[in-house]
């Protein structure tokens, strides 16, 4: 079995206010629709210390900054080989 991907979403107040509240919902839907829930460790982080570059999402150690819904779909497609 392939190793699970790790997705960490910053839940600090700045990232959350800048859109990670919506990104969180989008990631959950993306994973459910593609039956990927079991292949991912999905967690939140209180603050990534990149507040002025948020919203921040980290996938397998790769930091993505200023993530919006359009960027997020592309990031997830690349991460999961779609």
Tens digits of pLDDT across the chain (82 residues): 568 999 999 999 999 999 999 999 999 999 999 999 999 999 999 988 999 999 999 999 999 999 999 999 999 999 998 7
pLDDT for 74 = 96
- Alpha carbons 19 and 27: distance in angstroms, whole number: 12
- Alpha carbons 82 and 76: distance in angstroms, whole number: 8
pLDDT for 48 = 86
Tell me the whole-structure pTM to 2 decimals: 0.89
pLDDT for 2 = 63
pLDDT for 31 = 95
């Amino acid at each position: 079995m392939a190793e699970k991907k790790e997705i960490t979403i910053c839940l600090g107040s700045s990232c959350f206010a800048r859109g990670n509240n919506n990104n969180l919902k989008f990631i959950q839907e993306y994973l459910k629709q593609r039956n990927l829930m079991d292949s991912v460790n999905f967690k939140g982080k209180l603050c990534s210390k990149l507040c002025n570059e948020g919203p921040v999402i980290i996938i397998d150690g790769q930091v993505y900054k200023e993530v919006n819904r359009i960027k997020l779909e592309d990031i997830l497609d690349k991460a999961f080989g779609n």
